[in-house]
Amino acid sequence: MENMVFGPGNEGREVFWNAQNFQIPLDIFAFIALAIMGFGLYKRWQLWTAMGKPELRTDNRGERIKALLKNGVLQLSVWRDFYPGLMHGLIFFAFFVLIWGAAFDAFQFYTGVHFNGKPYLIMSFIFDLFGLFALIGVLMAIDRRYIKKPDRLGYKGKMDNRPEDAIVLLLILAIMVTGFLIEGLRIASFNYPTFEMWSFVGYLTALTFQGVNVETLKGLHKFMWWFHTFIALSFIAYIPYSRLLHIVTSPVNQFMKTLKPVGTIEPIRDFETAETFGVGKLEEFTWKQIFDSDACTRCGRCQDGCPAYNTGKHLSPKKMIQDIKDHWLERAPLYAAAKKAAGEGGEAAAVPESEKNLINDAAGVAEIWDCTNCMHCMEHCPVFIEHVPKIIDMRRCKVLMEADFAPELQLTYRNMENNSNPWGIGAHLRADWAKELGVKTLAEDPNAEYLFYVGCSGSFDDKGKKISAAFAKILKETGVSFAILGTEEGCCGDSAMRGGNEYLYQALAQYNIEIMNGYGVKKIICTCPHGYNALKKDYPLLGGNYEVYHHSEILADLIAQGKLKLSKPIDGVFTLHDSCFLGRYNKIYQQPRSVLNAVPGMKLVEMEKCLDMSFCCGAGGARMWMEEHGDRINNARTDMAVAVKADKIATACPFCMTMISDGLKDRGKEETMAAMDIAEIVWQAMDVKEAK
């Protein structure tokens, strides 16, 4: 493809109009374009550094550079969604290659040294090929945004098309088209030399100029060359002032991605001295949390799989981030001006309070409480924006600073404070489920290899107690050394933490940690993914360091080792619901499936949304304890199981089983379908007299 300068091939190296006579104006125009771009980036830098708490993301540089190469250069995070990934990849890789074409042309232009022979022919073919890729990519983008109009590019049926979107696409389209026209005009003016067939797109373009005299071709080539150059330089100058800025912000955000375990929430560490808790003002976010909003490309992948958005709730992760960005663009210039006025080392003057409240007016109160913490948004964001921690920070403000949260959560928190469980059932009944099973406590058997951390659902909920009993029987039958804490066990606190009540969470967690550390606990098994995730990832931040396993991992290992044999056939069609806190949070997808595949007679089918695309049951992020208005998330998930004509829905989370069981009732399917935990299924499949 013809690039920004010129270049016939091995023949006719003399240019039919002397482009070098225009070197000075070209240099001036290029300097102006670069200056405009540089000024825009400088002004944006001032906004980026104007506000927010300090947060460095420069540790583990090797790992960060690796992430940048994988996702910024190879575009792996973009390719996960094929069609838009292909569209973006065609444009990105084309520009990456064509930049080298421009560099080669510039080298020829300024040095007079030309590429000849095979190198020229190969480069001609490659540049034309990638120019064609870019043209196809931008046409795909235009078709998608202005013809197909997928919902993810808008909000609740209304497209979010902005003038800059059209300008960017038209600029790229114009650069590609004029590049091929220049090449075609040159080839036609030299009477179609055969070697130029390597520039196959340019050659085909040249054929459209047959019969045009050479002088006209020269004039058209000169005009088109300058027009192409002007568009290309305009493109460069426009970068900081449009969505093209993601050329800068995306790789920066990919480099600064969190390297902490997925879903880790940084605890509040200064309860005794802090004047505020959580985030109620934009200024209380960290610098990186604010930068996230400017890195957002509005691709809509987060919104596309959000269970709240897809069931008609207020929350759109994309819109929330964009609303925070709009609020930042209103506030940041004031902070930047104050910082500039203070000078180097000076103390910036106080900026007046905003009339617009971050939560109430920007992000949205309903929005932050709609979130189930399912992690789909963060899992599928190609530039690694961190939505969930922001939501939890804003919830903390609402709970700890304003005491403004749902009445049903008030009851839940009170129950957790008084009886260490959300139901408010007497704590002295926590071990009643195990009374007839001969399960020992750590007080009775302090040398047990594993602590079976039962959790609140497994101790108090009727369905959860059946799961606990089935799993305990399996462990006893297979000879696994384990014990429980009994009445010494407390709530893990996950719902309190993710519901914004950090103070209550830490009290609950520190109690458990003190008990566990007192017994010297090393290994823990959980049947609830919420407790599993909290003990595995959040407790270490408070001094509780353990090897934590989910019961699906233990069951899969016992089967693989031949210690757990399943010989009773269970006929029927089963489908597995992937728990968010098990799957996206901890990448446990195959273990539950390997357990179910070991059950004789069972046919396992997948729902439309499974594995990392799984649809949330609606119980995460403390939503288990809140009323849900409008279409229910659990009903939407249940419909997916009904669609594959499953007899049973296998789960590996007591919350999920409760939500899906409720969904089956709402859909009138409780007589023909049922939800079962994998531990219950395994116990039924064991050749044990007691198993039913």
Secondary structure of 65-99 in HEC code, one letter for each residue = HHHHHHHHHCCHHHHCCHHHHHHHHHHHHHHHHHH
Q: Cβ(471)–Cβ(527) under 8 Å? A: yes
pTM score, two decimals?
Answer: 0.91
Q: Cβ(622)–Cβ(391) under 8 Å? A: no
| pLDDT reported for residue 195 | 87
Q: Where are the alpha helices (DSSP H) in 112-238?
A: 117-143, 163-189, 200-207, 214-238
What's the CA gap between 499 and 413, in Å, rounded?
9
Give yes or no for residue 222 having a pLDDT over 60: yes
Shortest CA distance to 488 belongs to which of 436, 440, 450? Answer: 440
Give yes or no for residue 691 having a pLDDT over 80: no
Confidence band, pLDDT 50/70/90 cuts, at residue 21: low
Average pLDDT (465-476) is: 97
Dig out the tokens for 233 from the structure.
Answer: 């330089």
Give yes or no for residue 17 having a pLDDT over 60: no
How many DSSP H helices and E strands does the chain contain? 26, 10
What's the CA gap between 535 and 174, in Å, rounded?
56
What is the identity of the amino acid at 15? V
HEC string for 422-452: CCCCCHHHCCHHHCCCCCCECCCCCCCCEEE
Confidence band, pLDDT 50/70/90 cuts, at residue 6: very low
Average pLDDT (28-35) is: 93
pLDDT digits (tens, 9 = 90+) for 93-108: 999 898 887 777 777 7
Neighbours of 625 (CB within 10 A): 18
Provide, rounded to the nearest whole percent, the portion of the chain with pLDDT above 90: 82
Give yes or no for residue 416 having a pLDDT over 90: yes
Confidence band, pLDDT 50/70/90 cuts, at residue 413: very high
pLDDT digits (tens, 9 = 90+) for 432-441: 999 999 999 9
Shortest CA distance to 424 belongs to which of 410, 435, 407, 437? Answer: 410
Give yes or no for residue 301 having a pLDDT over 60: yes
| pLDDT reported for residue 339 | 85
Q: Cβ(441)–Cβ(408) under 8 Å? A: no
Confidence band, pLDDT 50/70/90 cuts, at residue 692: very low
What is the identity of the amino acid at 30? A
Give yes or no for residue 11 having a pLDDT over 50: no
| pLDDT reported for residue 192 | 86
DSSP state, residue 358: I
Confidence band, pLDDT 50/70/90 cuts, at residue 689: low
pLDDT digits (tens, 9 = 90+) for 358-403: 999 999 999 999 999 999 999 999 999 999 999 999 999 999 999 9
Confidence band, pLDDT 50/70/90 cuts, at residue 233: very high
Give yes or no for residue 193 having a pLDDT over 90: no
Highest mean pLDDT among 7-16, 535-544, 682-691: 535-544
Neighbours of 210 (CB within 10 A): 8
Q: Tell me the sheet residues that pair with 73.
A: none
| pLDDT reported for residue 281 | 94
Shortest CA distance to 471 belongs to which of 595, 629, 320, 297? Answer: 595
Dig out the tokens for 184 from the structure.
Answer: 């075609």
Q: Beta strand 648-651 with 572-576: parallel, antiparallel or unpaired?
A: parallel
What's the CA gap between 393 and 357, in Å, rounded?
15
Dig out the tokens for 216 from the structure.
Answer: 């006209």
pLDDT digits (tens, 9 = 90+) for 591-626: 999 999 999 999 999 999 999 999 999 999 999 999
Give yes or no for residue 3 having a pLDDT over 80: no
- Between CA 636 and CA 644, with CA 641 as vertex, the angle to 5 degrees is 130
Q: Beta strand 154-155 with 158-159: parallel, antiparallel or unpaired?
A: antiparallel
Confidence band, pLDDT 50/70/90 cuts, at residue 539: very high
Higher pLDDT, 3 or 344: 344
Average pLDDT (673-685) is: 96
Average pLDDT (112-135) is: 86
Burial class (CB in 10 A: 0-12, 13-18, 19+), 98: buried
Neighbours of 586 (CB within 10 A): 21
Confidence band, pLDDT 50/70/90 cuts, at residue 688: confident
Give yes or no for residue 7 having a pLDDT over 70: no
In 230-320, beta strands by DSSP E: none
Give yes or no for residue 279 having a pLDDT over 60: yes
Dig out the tokens for 367 from the structure.
Answer: 């929005």
pLDDT digits (tens, 9 = 90+) for 443-463: 999 999 999 999 999 999 999
DSSP state, residue 541: G
CA-based Rg of the chain, rounded to a whole angstrom? 31
Average pLDDT (237-243) is: 96
Average pLDDT (182-193) is: 90
